[in-house]
Structure 1
């Protein structure tokens, strides 16, 4: 079993565990390549994400690439492998198990369990839909997007429902592959911004659509919050 994150203090909130292994800031150089983002931010080849509403109250997100299940909670993510079960489908990894049949699911940990119902599904974004983009973050009120180029360290920020747009170089100020956490900062002193990406269940606050990452964009003295997804070739 290959874990994306090591869970700790596993209660009903699926608390995140593991040690952070941050890398130093990466300088920007001519012809620099885009950084490799943590795999936990991607669907892993799955064609869709599913949002689950659970009791006790919690939202989960899953994606099911061939031969595994990716599970995101409010505090992290896990990669689970198939297990034998009489009916439905069951996946296990460490002290976490996910059993579902139809639109119902039970998530069990060493300290309890969640009873969940499928709430919404969303097709995963693809490179055909977003050419040249390896990660897209977006949010509402006002509508905004932040897209990262797949081949160079550049971010395109589109703000205020598309009325403002700028493409800027960035540098990596923090990268934790185990936790699926990335912090990017502007590569230009005259146009500062910070983009924080962290693996975890995220539901669009207007549509309810599921995503595997929470995104926070700080620019021009404002802070924008939303959801995001890595986009593989």
Structure 2
């Protein structure tokens, strides 16, 4: 079983079932603010995400904003797009450059420079809200063993929870990469005695147990162990 921190080596103790006390995190610099994450990690006002199973074999994720003139957000394994509505005789069509998405009900045709996809909607998930996750601007999570990483909305601080929540700690972080164009963020620990790395990348991600859709792939590395999962930005 992996450990979030190496207590024996560092003389630290994690919160284990509420029986122990964690060493306090190093103080965050007064006035330090949480970074502005790339907008492609968020639903952009949409209230749900839809997963599409496509032929040739590929998974897509979309988030449709309310209103006939609103954009459609599209995520694939290759990145993310914000498509604008286009005129079409039936159904709904969205375009951005050489990328188009035309759907009629639960069926869609997607065309990109890589080729044409014929897709079927199969899972929908309500977008996470700040009401459900107070104070959290991004949530990443994965399975077997269950883990979560919650970024605070107002300061550079992350709460890491491993092994189905039996071990948890809140730590400061620093930003090592922030690429708005690619929708990529890499965070590292703000404490030398508790190293970790959290990588967030925009792209279609399906929960490997439920199949639920998310707009970001997340990788957490702690003590040489990697935890992979999906995530979503949570707007105020």
> What is the aligned partner in structure 2 of residue 41 from structure 1?
41
> What is the aligned partner in structure 2 of residue 68 from structure 1?
71
**Structure showing greater Rg:** 2
> What is the aligned partner in structure 1 of residue 50 from structure 2?
50
Structure 1 unaligned segments of length 5 or more: list them.
1-27
Tell me if 1:223 matches 2:226: yes
- Give distance in 1, aligned partners of 2:142 and 2:78: 20
> What is the aligned partner in structure 1 of residue 190 from structure 2?
187
> 1:111: how far off?
4.9
1:181-231 per-residue CA deviation (whole Å, 9 max, x = no partner) reads 000000001111000000000000000000000000001221100000000
> What is the aligned partner in structure 2 of residue 147 from structure 1?
150
* Distance verdict in 2 for CA 1:30–1:209, change over 3 Å: same
- Give distance in 1, aligned partners of 2:53 and 2:114: 19
> What is the aligned partner in structure 1 of residue 202 from structure 2?
199
- Give distance in 1, aligned partners of 2:218 and 2:47: 21
- Give distance in 2, aligned partners of 1:154 and 1:69: 31
TM score, norm. by length of structure 2 = 0.86
Structure 2 unaligned segments of length 5 or more: list them.
1-27
With 95-104 and 110-119 compared, the bigger mean Cα shift is at 110-119
- Give distance in 2, aligned partners of 1:108 and 1:215: 27
- Give distance in 1, aligned partners of 2:31 and 2:85: 42
RMSD across aligned positions (CA): 0.9
> What is the aligned partner in structure 1 of residue 216 from structure 2?
213
- Give distance in 1, aligned partners of 2:189 and 2:114: 43
> What is the aligned partner in structure 1 of residue 11 from structure 2?
none
Extract structure 1 runs of 4+ deviating beyond 3 A. none
Tell me if 1:160 matches 2:129: no
- Give distance in 2, aligned partners of 1:134 and 1:110: 33
- Give distance in 2, aligned partners of 1:113 and 1:86: 20
> 1:110: how far off?
3.8
Aligned length: 206
TM score, norm. by length of structure 1 = 0.87
